[in-house]
Amino acid sequence: MMSDQAQKLRKKVNQNKLSAVIDDIKNIHDISEVYSNLVEESQSSASVIMFISAKGGTGKTYIASMFAHYLSEKKKKTAINITIDDAGSGNFAGGMIIAAYAEEITSYTSSVIQPDEYNDTTIEMQKKVFDAVDMLLSTYSDYDIESVFLCQSNLFDITTYQLIDRGYVVIRGRVEGELQNIIEDDFIKHLQSFGMPEYLKFYLKMIERDKNLGYRLLNNFCINFVKVDMPNRLKFCKSHNKLYEDLQKTAIDIEKTENKFMKKPKLCCECGRYVYDNILYKFTTVGFNSVFYGHCSCIDKITSVQK
């Protein structure tokens, strides 16, 4: 007959589906087997395991210490859920960032697909995206990846099938929250690595407020920044699109002119700031019917531009 106290404990343990421990352990050699049956196969999320006995001197302390040793040997991995997103695919300048974020361990890792690696076929790009995701996931091998949340963009279609094949739990949807801000910041830094101005980070605030508008304005700025020095800047743009082909065929006219836009100032295509000087450079894209402007001081510094 068990004591009242042991009965109460057994009842509690039963509620946690841990009675197997009590009944199955005949000797300490069973510990590994019992543990794997109980915690792994039953996928129990129990965080407390009790060893109880109605009698003293039955080896509770010894069993508990053996169990602790077994667990530490096994190095139970921390469970994480990974969210994966892309940034930059719609921007003419720069390539694309693929990034992974695990909130549980506040870990961010990213991979860059450079503009010259860009390809015009969707399938090829989906394969490149999968290679990037595969590389990012491999950096989390010390963790137990419970699920992978992939951005709903079709860029991740091949990745979805590949990850499901490998036994991952895959969720598709719209990525929101912390990862969004970090990956956009990462993309701006990627653009700056090509010599784009510090002022570019101003667009991050706009993107935060209105994503579509922010990216449209960023893209407009990037296009003019490229146009002003095409021989040196077209190479950091995605090349398989109509704009790239059109720009290769066009010429840019340049003239110094009076600034008539003091009330509605124009952005400088080089530094991104408003132009308030009395004289500015006006650029006309031949055949495009589009004009853009620049500070004289900024444009004069670009030696490859013939004034």
Q: Which is nearer to Zn ion, 184 or 270 (CB)?
A: 270
Cα 137 to the center of its chain, rounded Å = 11
Closest CB 305 distance from Zn ion, rounded Å: 13
- Strand ranges for 76-202 from DSSP E: 79-87, 96-102, 107-113, 144-151, 170-173
Q: How far is the CB of 297 from Zn ion (least distance, A)?
A: 7
Q: How far is the CB of 232 from Zn ion (least distance, A)?
A: 17
Residue closer to Zn ion by CB (options 32, 259) is: 259
Q: How far is the CB of 292 from Zn ion (least distance, A)?
A: 12
- Cα separation, 72 vs 197, in Å, equals 51
Residue 197 C-beta: closest distance to Zn ion, Å: 8
Q: Name the one residue in this structure whose structure tokens are 């595969």.
A: 134
**Nearest approach, Cβ of 201 to Zn ion (angstroms)?**
16
Shortest Cβ 185–Zn ion spacing (Å): 23
Which lies closer to Zn ion via its Cβ, residue 40 or residue 300?
Answer: 300
What sign does the CA torsion over 102, 103, 104, 105 have?
Answer: positive
Structure tokens at 181: 């801000």
Between 133 and 298, whose beta carbon lies closer to Zn ion? 298
Per the DSSP assignment, residues forming a β-bridge with 151 are 173
Q: How far is CA 303 from CA 180, 182, 191, 199, 250, in A?
A: 37, 35, 21, 21, 20
Burial of 253 (0-12, 13-18, 19+ CB in 10 A): exposed
Task: Give the nearest distance from C-beta 294 to Zn ion in angstroms.
Answer: 6
Q: Cα–Cα–Cα angle for 197, 199, 205, nearest 5°?
A: 135
- Residue nearest Zn ion (C-beta atom): 268
Q: How far apart are CA 190 and CA 93, in angstroms?
A: 10
CB-based burial label for 183 (10 Å; 0-12, 13-18, 19+): buried
> 95 or 272: whose CB is closer to Zn ion?
272
For Zn ion, give the closer residue by CB, 143 or 292: 292
Nearest to 268 by CA among 290, 291, 295, 303: 295
User: Looking at beta carbons only, is 70 or 199 nearer to Zn ion?
Assistant: 199
Rounded Cα–Cα distance for residues 280 and 266 (Å): 10
Report the residue number, 132 or 269, with the smaller CB distance to Zn ion: 269
Backbone angles phi, psi at 100, to 5 degrees: -120, 140
Q: Applying CB under 5 A, which residues contact Zn ion?
A: 268, 270-271, 295, 298
Strand partners, 291: 284
Nearest to 125 by CA among 240, 203, 225: 240
